[in-house]
Amino acid sequence: MPDDTTQLLSKHKGKIILVEFLLTTCPHCQRCSQVVEKMYKEYGPKGFQPLGVAINDMAKLLVPDFKKNGNLSWPVGYSPRDPVYSYLEHPAMQQLYMPALVFIDRKFQIRAQYMGTEPFFNAEEKNMRDMIEMLMKEGGAPAVSKGKAPAPKKA
């Protein structure tokens, strides 16, 4: 986190967690973070916890302004790029399109992962809402493969 403390995912076990890997200077990441903020205001009291991880150069210095300028009320920190590339199983020599979103259910299972160029982002607010609502309706479920998520059920 910006104050050099470590934010452990396990601290949020039992919640729906969304990790947004981002670049503080990326307009798409800034827009996505605004959608995440909207979801946090709506679903935070119901157990939704977003966490942001900036991976750009000098992120440690840029995160405070990113949060302030975006009016973000959820934790955003930073990480070196290589561990994030490794976690996302992304080759370091290949360009990574940001943001990258990882949804984790209440049972601490990764349920979906989306990279910045995927169709998920064509309607990110609707798709994010659908994913959060689907995960909130269940107590948890088996993990699904990367980049794939079950279609949200219609009520």
> How much is the pTM?
0.84
CATH of domain 13-137: 3.40.30.10
By the 8 A CB rule, do 85 and 115 touch?
A: no
Which among 70, 30, 74 has a CA at the least distance from the CA of 51?
74
Residue 79: how many other CB atoms lie within 10 Å: 14
Residues 47-100 pLDDT 10s: 999 999 999 999 999 999 999 999 999 999 999 988 888 888 877 777 778 999
* Residue 117 to residues 28, 54, 122, Cα–Cα distance (Å): 10, 18, 9
* Domain locations along the chain: 13-137
The predicted model gives 125-135 an average pLDDT of 97
